[in-house]
Structure 1
Amino acid sequence: MPASNSGQLLRVQLDAAKAFYGIVLTTVLLFWLNQDSISLYCQQKYHQSCELPVLGQSPAWRLGGNLTQALGAARDSFVGSLEQSRTAVAQVDSVALPAPMPVVPVNLEAPHGAPPVVAPKPIAAKVAAPAMAATPTKPAAAVSPNPLPSATVVSLAAGDEVFLVGDSLMQGVAPHLSNSLRKRYQIKSVNLSRQSTGLAYPGFFNWPQTVARTLENSPNIRLMVIFLGPNDPWDMPQGKGKPFLRFKSPEWETAYRQRIDAILDQAREHQVQVIWVGPPNMQKPRLSSAMAYLSGLYQEQVGLYQQHYLSANPVLGYQDDAFSYTLQNSQGKRVKTRVDDGIHFTITGQKLIAEQILSLIAFPGLTVTGH
Structure 2
Amino acid sequence: MPASKPQTPPARPAASSLAQALLGLFATLATVAAVLVWLMQGSVNEYWRQTYHQEPRWAAWSAWPAWQLGGQWQQDMTAKRQAWADRWRQFDAHAAQVFSQLWQSAPGASAAPSAAAPRQPISASTPEPAPVAPPGKRPAPAANPASLPASQAQPRPAAQRTASPEPAAGSMLESPPEPVSAATAPPVMAPTIMAAAPAGKPATWAQAGGTIALDKTDRVFFVGDSMMQGVAPHVRRILTKEYGIDSLDLSKQSTGLAYPGFFDWPKTVQNTFAQHPDIRLMVVFLGPNDPWAFAVEKGQPYAKFKSEAWETAYRARIRALLDTARTHQAAIIWLQVPAMKNQKLDSGMQYLNSLYAAEVQTAHGMLIDSNQVLGQTEGRFNAYADIDDKKVKIRIDDGVHFTVAGQKLLAQAILARIQPVAAPALQAQRDASNPETP
TM-score after normalising by structure 1: 0.78
Match of 1:242 among 293, 300, 319: 300
Matched, 1:41 2:21: no
Q: Structure 1 stretch 227-236 or stretch 19-28: which is displaced more?
A: 19-28
Aligned to 1:341: 398
Counterpart contact for 1:225–1:276, Cα < 8 Å: yes
C-alpha change, 1:8 and 1:67, in structure 2 (3 Å) is same
Within 5 Å, which residues of 2 pair with 1:145-164?
146-148=186-188, 152-164=210-222
5 Å matches for 1:188-267?
188-267=246-325
One of 317, 324, 328 as aligned partner of 2:375: 317
- Residue in 1 that maps onto 2:415: 358
Higher relative contact order (CA 8 A, sep 6+): 2
Q: Is the 8 A contact 2:296 2:313 kept in 1?
A: no
RMSD: 3.4
Aligned to 2:81: 75
| Pairwise CA distance, 1:349 | 1.1
Unaligned runs of 5+ in 2: 1-6, 122-126, 128-181, 190-207, 424-438
Larger radius of gyration: 1
Say yes or no: does 1:29 pair with 2:87. no
SS at 1:5's partner residue? Answer: coil
* Residue matched to 1:277: 335
Identity among equivalent pairs (%): 41
C-alpha displacement at 1:132, in angstroms? 9.4
Deviations, residues 285-329 of structure 1 (Å, cap 9, x unaligned): 211111111111111111111111111011112343422111223
Shift of 1:13: 7.2
Query: Aligned pair count?
Result: 336
The structural deviation recorded for 1:77 is 3.8
Contact 2:266/2:317 (<8 A) preserved: yes
CA offset at residue 93 of structure 1? 7.8
Opposite residue 414 of structure 2, the aligned amino acid is I
Letter in 1 for 2:383: Y
Within 2, Cα distance between the matches of 1:147 and 1:49? Answer: 52
How many Å apart are 1:248 and its aligned residue? 0.8
Quick check: 1:166 aligned with 2:224? yes
Superposition deviation, residue 55 in structure 1? 3.2
Is residue 139 from structure 1 mapped to residue 125 from structure 2 by the alignment? no
Greater displacement, 46-55 / 277-286: 46-55
The 1:338–1:257 alpha-carbon spacing in structure 2 relative to 1, beyond 3 Å, is same
Q: CA separation in 2, counterparts of 1:133 and 1:363?
A: 19
Q: Report the alpha carbon displacement of residue 154 of structure 1 after superposing the two structures with TM.
A: 1.0
Q: Secondary structure at the match of 1:152?
A: coil
Deviations 1:149-176 (Å, cap 9, x if unpaired)?
9783211112322111111111111121
Shift of 1:146: 4.0
Residue 140 to residue 94, structure 1, CA distance change in 2 (3 Å): farther
**Distance across 2 between alignment mates of 1:351 and 1:234:** 29
Alpha-carbon distance between aligned partners in 1 of 2:384 and 2:85, rounded to the nearest angstrom: 47
**CA 133–242 in structure 1, closer or farther in 2 if over 3 Å, else same:** farther
2:195 is aligned to: none
Deviation at 1:259, TM superposition (A): 1.0
Cα deviations by residue, 1:245-294 (Å, 9 ceiling, x for unpaired): 21111111111111111111111121111101111111122111111111
Residue pair 1:163, 1:190 contacting (<8 A) in 2 also: yes
Amino acid at match of 2:256: G
Give the direction of change, closer, same or farther, for the CA distance of 1:170–1:9 in structure 2 (3 Å limit).
closer
Change (3 A) 1:132 1:173: closer
Q: CA deviation at 1:219?
A: 2.6
| Cα distance in 2, alignment partners of residues 326 and 92 from structure 1 | 51
In structure 2, what is the Cα distance between the partners aligned to 1:91 and 1:181? Answer: 23
**Residue 361 (structure 2) aligns with:** 303
Task: Report Cα offsets for 1:57-81 as digits up to 9, x if no partner.
Answer: 3222222112212332343345445
SS of 1:38's partner is helix
Match of 1:55 among 38, 51, 61: 61
Whole-Å separation in 2 of the counterparts to 1:14 and 1:326: 58
Q: In structure 2, what is the Cα distance between the partners aligned to 1:129 and 1:174?
A: 34
Structure 1 unaligned segments of length 5 or more: list them.
100-124, 367-371
Letter in 2 for 1:59: P
